[in-house]
Amino acid sequence: MRSRCLWFFAACLGLWTAAVSAAAFKDPVVTPAPAAPGDVSTAPLLAGALSGGRIVAVGLRGLIISSDDQGKSWQQRPSPLSSDLVALSFVGNGKGWAAGHDGVILHTDDGGNSWTRQLDGQAACKIMADYYQKKADAGDASVAPYIAMIQGNCSDGGGDLPWLDVYFTDESNGYAVGPFGNIIASADGGKTWEPWMHRIDNEAGLHLNQITVINGALYIAAERGTVFKYDEGEQKFKPHRTGYNGTFFGITGDAAKLVVYGLRGTAYRSLDGGETWTAVQTEAGAAVNAAATLADGRIAMVTQNARVLVSTDAQAEHYKPLQLARPMLFADIVPVGPSAFAVIGTAGVVIESAAAGN
């Protein structure tokens, strides 16, 4: 699962900026994550995912933690950098990826015990610029908008824009998305990356907040009420309008429905693979930062105002709040059992239940 809202990053950064401002600057891309003081499960976290039966979570200053006993105990894992990590994706055989600020992408082959850096912002900017410039030099005038977009995104030379999400469909094929239309793809497990700006109809450079596969189709949740869906025939992401004008942070669902969610508790539902959408009344009262589909088809949402909402029906039309063990500003939610899930945010990670009667 992933965390992707830019305003949330800024809010979290305020928690620790004062503590580190007096220290001498160290490049976070090459500075290993510091040891977290105290109980690592209460440190600010931004995203989580499952690697087999293990729960893995990441957060500020490169923090990576994991639990092998359903969240009863947690251990910090070595991280080669101290950039904020905001997204996770795991596939089989313990292979996983983490992404975040400064354009970083990390990889693990052992379920999150150890990590290596595969990409950073400077390298990503060079890869994207070189790719399209080579096409331009060969006479392809259609790439001019992408060259201009990359120049704008990398104008400071530092390549410090974050990846807001990373998602691998298998051990080889994966994607990373970010603000201002940034999107890259890999076909070799993240060893090399190719820009995909030419494979998405996103002339406005909308922020791409989350990418995932639902029922075999690839979707991106974005700004301006837009959901992009990959068209296999055209080999391109095509925009689908929901009727909403604000930002969506993510999308979840199953074969029966899609639910996209974002600012001000907004959620829209589609029963036809994203072709048409209708508004859903979540009664969240604040931004929905993340959501997940439970084993029984219900949708669980976590919000900016410390609430967890679970749909009361498999069609995800009506929602009710749960009683929580540790309310916090939530960033992510990870199903860890038939009715249990890990909720992740500014106060760490805790296991909650959506069992009947909660």
In whole angstroms, what is the distance from residue 200 CA to residue 207 CA?
Answer: 12
Question: What Å distances lie between residue 211 and 76, 185, 230, 299, CA to CA?
Answer: 27, 11, 11, 18
CA distance 154 to 102: 11
What pLDDT does 83 receive?
97
DSSP string, 252-265: EE-SS-EEEEEGGG
Provide the pLDDT for residue 157. Answer: 61
d(CA 4, CA 86): 7
C-beta of residue 342 within 8 angstroms of C-beta of residue 333: yes
Q: Are 208 and 187 in contact (CB under 8 A)?
A: no
Cβ(60)–Cβ(43) below 8 Å: yes
pLDDT for res 5: 52
CA distance 344 to 334: 8
Compute the distance between CA of residue 286 and CA of residue 133 in angstroms, rounded to an integer. 43
pLDDT at 354: 83
Taking alpha carbons only, the member of 133, 25, 47, 130 closest to residue 96 is 47
The SS3 call for residue 314 is coil
CA distance 126 to 150: 9
Strands 116-119 and 174-177: unpaired
191-198 contacts at long range (C-beta below 8 A, 24 or more positions apart): 191/118, 193/119, 193/124, 193/127, 194/127, 194/131, 195/127, 195/128, 195/131, 195/132, 195/146, 195/150, 197/128, 197/132, 197/146, 197/149, 197/150, 198/142, 198/143, 198/146
- Report which residue type is found at 19: A
Q: Which fold has domain 6-21+40-268?
A: Methylamine Dehydrogenase; Chain H (2.130.10)
Q: What is the pLDDT of residue 315?
A: 86
The pLDDT of residue 2 = 52
The series of mean pLDDT values per 10 residues for the chain, 358 residues long, is 48 45 76 95 97 97 97 98 98 96 98 98 96 98 96 80 97 97 98 98 97 98 98 97 97 97 97 97 94 94 96 90 92 93 96 74
Domain ranges of the chain: 6-21+40-268
